[in-house]
Amino acid sequence: MENIEALREEVLGEVGKAADLQALEDVRISALGKKGRITGLMKNLGQMDPDQRREFGQTLNAVKDTVAEAIETRKASLEDAALNARLIGERIDVTLPARADETAGRIHPISQTMDEIVSIFGEMGFALAEGPDVEDDFHNFTALNIPPEHPAREMQDTFYLPEQEDGSRLVLRTHTSPVQIRTMQSKTPPIRIIAPGRTYRSDSDMTHTPMFHQVEGLVIDKKTHMGHLKGCLLEFVKTYFELDDVPVRYRPSFFPFTEPSAEMDIGCSRKGGELKIGEGDDWLEILGCGMVHPRVLAACGLDPDEYQGFAFGMGIERIAMLKYGIPDLRTFFDTDLRWLKHYGFVPLDVPNMVRG
């Protein structure tokens, strides 16, 4: 009996000292395994008389249970410790700054240019407006006073979606001008909006991509006139091109949705094949504009005798190319990372007259 007590203490001591799961397993085998010390004592039972055997057997079983339980407890705590050690060892330090060269993204020149335009007109009190890329005939054409026979409506110029049940077809908007319509339908003047976005035409060559970007401006109230149009656009080109002064001229033009209509040119020089904006005696066309046609106002439910205003629209790629010296339109959409690294902008690091 004394031996059993001593053996129990000895084994429990070893269990407590087992430093890892392997050491604990060794203790288990040496005590409870087939040839283990406690198992060995079981074999003595056969030589004892019945009373002795009962008492000895009970004690031995109790010792076996105690030891087995101690081993289980120790095992659980060693496993916990092992897991914690792994968690600490394999922890990823998410606070480490990224390696600048590998992960720094760039802002695409289109996004950059849109931001600049929106913030320049934002300073003048224009609100940002948006419309859907997939338009209906009314917003893209009819309400803009574009007649049924107009070439912009031709299948070869416009991307049409399959016919709907009522026979009409949705279109990928061919310009941002439908945002004018949506705005005048949903808001009462005074209106001042600037609306950049994607536009689509069935065109693909050196200077045309099927998807491109435009920005639309619209001002409607009771007294806005062509002088305001000229003032706003002059302010815009000066700020955008970062010039104290730019010669501008308005050439009479035609759009179904404006009357009168004009094309705005800015002064430039092309000496030696190099384009310089703001100097010289050459001209560069940059946008279309005019006073909103009375029929367009009426189509939106506004009384043309009460309200008037101006609109303009310009291609974003074109003015981005002019400002940032990007020679080829198609490269905008090639998704070439080397191009983006060269022409793109580092976020939060784009000093200009708008952002300081």
Which residues define the annotated binding site? 259
36 binds ligand PHE (CB under 6 A): no
Q: Which residue is nearest to ligand PHE (CB)?
A: 313
Q: Which is nearer to ligand PHE, 14 or 183 (CB)?
A: 183
314 and 277 Cβ atoms separated by less than 8 Å: no
Of residues 255, 307, 343, 345, which one binds ligand PHE by CB under 6 A?
A: 255
Q: Is residue 146 classed exposed, middle or buried when 0-12, 13-18 and 19+ CB atoms within 10 A define those classes?
A: buried
Q: Which is nearer to ligand PHE, 126 or 255 (CB)?
A: 255
Q: Which is nearer to ligand PHE, 143 or 311 (CB)?
A: 311
CB of 239 to ligand PHE, least distance (A): 20
260 and 289 Cβ atoms separated by less than 8 Å: no
Question: Tokens 């002059």 appear where?
Answer: 234
175 binds ligand PHE (CB under 6 A): yes
CB of 259 to ligand PHE, least distance (A): 10
Taking CB under 6 A as the criterion, which residues in 213-232 touch ligand PHE? 216
Which residues contribute to the annotated binding site for Mg(2+)? 259
Q: Which is nearer to ligand PHE, 28 or 180 (CB)?
A: 180
204 and 210 Cβ atoms separated by less than 8 Å: yes
343 and 324 Cβ atoms separated by less than 8 Å: yes
Residue 143, CA distances (Å) to 73, 257, 284 in order: 81, 9, 30
- Residue 219's DSSP bridge partners are 192, 310
3-class state of residue 220 by DSSP? strand
3-class state of residue 207 by DSSP? coil
223 and 104 Cβ atoms separated by less than 8 Å: no
Binding mask 268-287 for ligand PHE (x = CB under 6 A): --------------------
Of residues 140, 158, 177, 224, which one binds ligand PHE by CB under 6 A?
A: 177
Task: Determine phi and psi for 159, rounding to 5 degrees.
Answer: -85, 115
Residues 6+ apart with CB under 8 A from 240: 116, 117, 120, 319, 323
183 binds ligand PHE (CB under 6 A): no
178 binds ligand PHE (CB under 6 A): no
Binding mask 125-164 for ligand PHE (x = CB under 6 A): ----------------------------------------
- In this structure, are strands 211-221 and 191-200 parallel, antiparallel, or unpaired? antiparallel
326 and 318 Cβ atoms separated by less than 8 Å: no
Binding mask 284-323 for ligand PHE (x = CB under 6 A): ----xxx--------------------xxx----------
CB of 217 to ligand PHE, least distance (A): 8
CB of 258 to ligand PHE, least distance (A): 5
Cβ-based neighbour number of residue 346 at 10 Å: 10
Binding mask 189-218 for ligand PHE (x = CB under 6 A): ---------------------------x--
Please report, as ranges, the residues that interact with ligand PHE according to CB under 6 A. 175, 177, 216, 255, 258, 288-290, 311-313
